[in-house]
Structure 1
Amino acid sequence: MDKKKTLLTLSAVAIGSVIYNYLKPVKSDVEVIQDFDLQKYLGKWYEIARFDFFWEKNLKNVTAEYSMNEDGSVKVKNEGVNITTEKTKTSIGKAKYAGNVNEGALKVSFFGPFYSGYNIVMIDSDYQDALIFGDNLDYIWILSRTKSINEDRKAHYLKYAKDCGYDLSKLKWTVQEG
């Protein structure tokens, strides 16, 4: 692709992102966890459930791994296996605090200067499972340090998400093999 086409493509993506961010659905307005400990949050998490979106479509065995970058930001490595091709798909991004370092409000980017909200709204005291909301009602994740989650915790997270306005009929339960 020549430079002119590349510039036009990048411009179209940037304009599209601005328009989407302006017109996107009503934001989820919930409190994030307080007394957040990033060091406890680092490491590998298994995705238990999500609202599907383009990057994760048809993926199983989805994990997210968080580690520190030298600049103080957090390296985010998302990985999953395509259910039809069996090929592993990996995406590397970075996260930063959205505000106070003691709050579970982060912003994550997998594409240049464009960040999305990553709000840890519930987490167990040992940082073994968590409920994450995006910056609007289109994004939700349930994560665990293991490939499954306690049924009582799952029910608690689901009730909270429903009470916050999430349409749980769109929730996809992630296949975690092995």
Structure 2
Amino acid sequence: MSIRQALKIGAVALAALWISACATNPETESMAPKTVDHVDLKRYQGTWYEVARLPMFFQRNCAQSEAHYTLKDDGNIAVTNRCRTIEGKWEEATGTASPQIKGKTDKLWVVFDNWFSNLFPGVAKGDYWVLYVSPDYKVALVGSPNRKFLWLLSRTPQVPDSVRNDMLMKAQQQGYDTTKLIWRVADSKVGKAD
């Protein structure tokens, strides 16, 4: 990927996250989705595959997405998001997730490393609320408090129908519109990268 493409992807990603963060209305905080009580970040780190998502502009060309999280010594999380287009090309963005409230791990800020966030530190950050994580840390639901964005995540690219249905039910109970979910494209339908 060229530097120009990386900058373009990063700028679009940050703009979308910034809009998401700005759209949160403190007056409706009592109506915000419920997050888990605690996330064990050591167990949460590793690779998560996106099973489905609510549409987000910077992911508009993604057929398959995955996130890699690594716990850092300072308690923050190094983030690497990878997107595979339908043509089979990979795009990547890196950043850092940090707790919104010190000592709490259910609500994180995510900031991607690019010129925009370096120019406007503290402005370009997105909400990452962990709504559900299974006891074995194999599936998770992550969303934004304004319910515009949602990710169904798994440690594997596919999940059994029973797990899928349970995740959908949990998202619906939290007030997310699951009729607009975009599902992961099967490997057989994604082109081979050069």
TM-score normalised according to structure 2 size: 0.73
Does residue 1:57 correspond to 2:60, yes or no? Answer: yes
1:90 matched residue in structure 2: 92
Aligned length: 163
* Partner-residue secondary structure (3-state), 1:45: strand
* Preserved CA contact (<8 Å) 1:62 1:176: no
Considering only aligned residues, what root-mean-square deviation do their CA atoms show, in Å? 2.8
For the residue of structure 2 that corresponds to 1:36, the secondary structure is: coil
| Alignment pair present for 1:39 and 2:42 | yes
When Rg is computed on C-alpha atoms for both structures, the one with the higher figure is 1
Aligned to 2:180: 170
The Cα offsets for residues 45-75 of structure 1, whole Å up to 9 and x where unpaired, read as: 1110001212211212311000133543211
Q: Which residue of 2 aligns with 1:108?
A: 110
Higher-strand-fraction structure:
1
- CA shift for structure 1 position 101: 3.1
The question of whether the paired residues in 1 share the 8 Å contact of 2:21 and 2:125 is answered with: no
State the 1:131 CA deviation.
0.8
Aligned: 1:78 with 2:81: yes
Q: Where in structure 1 are there 5+ consecutive unaligned residues?
A: 1-9
* CA distance in structure 2 between the aligned counterparts of 1:36 and 1:103, rounded to whole angstroms: 5
Q: What is the aligned partner in structure 1 of residue 152 from structure 2?
A: 142
Conserved? CA contact 2:64–2:184, under 8 Å: yes
Task: Confirm whether residue 155 of structure 1 aligns to residue 165 of structure 2.
Answer: yes
Q: Aligned partners of 1:65, 1:18: CA distance in 2, in Å?
A: 23
8 Å contact 1:47–1:143 — kept in the other structure?
Answer: yes
Once the two structures are aligned, what percentage of the paired residues are identical? Answer: 28
Q: Give the Cα–Cα distance (whole angstroms) in 2 for the partners of residues 43 and 23 of structure 1.
A: 28
Write the distance in 2 (CA, Å) between the matches of 1:19 and 1:167.
Answer: 16
Per-residue displacement from partner, 1:7-45 (whole Å, max 9, x unpaired)? xxx9xx99xx57981587x77612211232000000001
Q: In structure 2, what is the Cα distance between the partners aligned to 1:137 and 1:126?
A: 25
Instruction: Tell me the amino acid that sits aligned with residue 21 of structure 1.
Output: C
Deviates more, 1:134-143 or 1:108-117: 108-117
Q: Distance in 1 between matches of 2:186 and 2:73?
A: 31
Residue segments in structure 2 that go unaligned for 5+ positions in a row: 1-10, 189-194
Cα distance in structure 2, aligned partners of 1:22 and 1:66: 26
Equivalent position amino acid for 2:68 in 1: E
Q: Report the AA paired with residue 179 of structure 2.
A: S
State the shift of 1:93 in Å: 1.2
Distance 1:90 1:119, change over 3 A: same
More displaced stretch, 138-147 vs 104-113:
104-113
